[in-house]
Amino acid sequence: MLKGIILKIPSDDTIVETIQTFVENIGLTAGVAEEDVTSLSIAVMEVVKNAMEHGNGGDPKKLVTIYIDVYSGRLQFIVDDCGTWQPDSELGHEPEEGKALISSRGRGVLIARNLARWLDYGLNPEGKTRATLIWPLT
């Protein structure tokens, strides 16, 4: 089983597609069904793009670290950035009505959480933002 994969990447838009493909292939290797790997990769990339943009302010010198592990029955992605953001409560479940609804932003976390079913934010041992996303394997 795949265990211990660690990927560190600069906060650089040009690498996003490469990482998305990488996540899809990891998914296939881990046994995610072919028709589900893009959903998986979209979920993970919503989180990774937020880490690059909001956590690291788009500074290419700041890295995003992705830890990938396969456990029995689940594929786990941990995404660390250099920020210290930690949402007070589960965010993203309830998009507001009215103005917020027609914003062109603000749906990344929501989409990731809905696709992956499990997405949690917290701080890593160094006190930096850590997102944990779990994809069930059947």
Ligand X SMILES: Nc1ncnc2c1ncn2[C@@H]1O[C@H](COP(=O)(O)OP(=O)(O)O)[C@@H](O)[C@H]1O
Interface ranges with its own copies (CB under 8 A): 1-10, 12, 14-15, 17-18, 21-22, 25-26, 28-29, 60-61, 63
Q: Which does 26 bind (CB under 5 to 8 A by kind): ligand X, another protein, its own copies, none?
A: its own copies
Using DSSP, state whether 37 is helix, strand or coil.
helix
The Cα 104–Cα 119 span in angstroms is: 22
The Cα 61–Cα 105 span in angstroms is: 25
39 binds ligand X (CB under 6 A): no
Nearer to its own copies, 71 or 87 (CB): 71
Using alpha carbons only, how large is the chain's radius of gyration in Å? 15
Q: Are 5 and 68 in contact (CB under 8 A)?
A: yes
List residues near ligand X by CB under 6 A: 46, 50-51, 54-55, 81, 83, 85, 92, 105-110, 129
